[in-house]
Amino acid sequence: MIEIRGLVKAFGSRLVLRGITLHISAGEFVTLVGPNGAGKTTLMRILATLSRPTAGQVLLGGCDLTQDPMRARHMIGLVSHRTLLYDDLSGEQNLLFYAQLYDVTRPKMRVEELLRQMGLWGRQRDPVSTYSRGMQQRLAIARALLHNPPILLLDEPDTGLDRHAAMTLGALLRQTDLGRRTVLMTTHNLEYAAAWGERAAILVNGRIVFQVNRSKIDLATLRAQYDHYASSA
């Protein structure tokens, strides 16, 4: 579903991504960790069509990102540490606004369905400014799922959440109907990387240096690999 081939991104003479190649199958949940400056956010911005690669190719469901970005955008739901929500609008109004942008059919029904799924029904008419950080992140996930995208990009969605809110988010991601979706999540937290996804990858200095299936690794081993590669960068 996500095919990255020899992806390079440079800002002037500074190389940020150095020939990344990564395949993520349909329905797979992959977590990506790396130190600050590793290139995680740059990679996610390219996948979200917010930045163009310097070289290489990205295919989303067979769609070339640079050849048909509009089609690619409709295949993507993006959640980041910035919620992309309007604080003065209610949760319901936020989702109805985005539903219009994506031409969602039966928007009121779809919005109610997602608010109930995210445990926000009952607070749907309250301004987002009154929501806790965890509630705002749940609403951001609802926003990302509005148009039923086959690909979900989670760029450090746990940033700013306390431990309880972050674990709630993890449980929500596991319980939400993501079975047919392909998910790529970046995070600084190795515990979440080991627990939430089906495969974990380590990005250091613009290169993917390690990948492993969750069934074949525990948190201690992932931390040891992370420390080894991060210290040698």
pLDDT digits (tens, 9 = 90+) for 96-113: 999 999 999 999 999 999
Helix axes 133-145, 91-101, angle to 10 degrees: 20
Asked whether the predicted pLDDT for residue 120 surpasses 90, the reply is yes
Looking at the domain assignment, is residue 68 inside a domain? Answer: yes
Return the biggest CA–CA distance within the chain.
53
Which residues span the domain enclosing 203? 1-75+182-233
Asked whether the predicted pLDDT for residue 126 surpasses 90, the reply is yes
**CA dihedral sign of residues 208, 214, 215, 220:** positive
Q: What is the pLDDT of the chain when averaged over all its residues?
A: 91
Look at 20-24, 60-64, 156-160, 177-181 and tell me which has the smallest mean pLDDT.
Answer: 177-181
pLDDT over 90, % of the chain: 67
pLDDT at 130: 97
Looking at the domain assignment, is residue 233 inside a domain? Answer: yes
Look at 73-77, 146-150, 167-171, 204-208 and tell me which has the smallest mean pLDDT.
Answer: 167-171
Looking at the domain assignment, is residue 227 inside a domain? Answer: yes
Q: Average the pLDDT over 199-221 and give the result.
A: 91
Looking at the domain assignment, is residue 198 inside a domain? Answer: yes
Asked whether the predicted pLDDT for residue 139 surpasses 70, the reply is yes
Please give the Cα distance from 24 to 31 (Å, whole number).
11
Please give the Cα distance from 186 to 170 (Å, whole number).
13
pLDDT at 226: 94
pLDDT at 122: 96
Looking at the domain assignment, is residue 33 inside a domain? Answer: yes
Q: Average the pLDDT over 35-46 and give the result.
A: 94
Looking at the domain assignment, is residue 55 inside a domain? Answer: yes
222: phi then psi, degrees, rounded to nearest 5 = -60, -40
Looking at the domain assignment, is residue 201 inside a domain? Answer: yes
CATH number at residue 42: 3.40.50.300
pLDDT at 194: 87
Asked whether the predicted pLDDT for residue 168 surpasses 80, the reply is no
Asked whether the predicted pLDDT for residue 92 surpasses 90, the reply is yes
Looking at the domain assignment, is residue 167 inside a domain? Answer: no
State pTM to two decimals: 0.91
Domain count, the chain: 1
Within 10 angstroms of residue 139's Cβ, the number of other Cβ atoms is 25
Please give the Cα distance from 140 to 152 (Å, whole number).
12
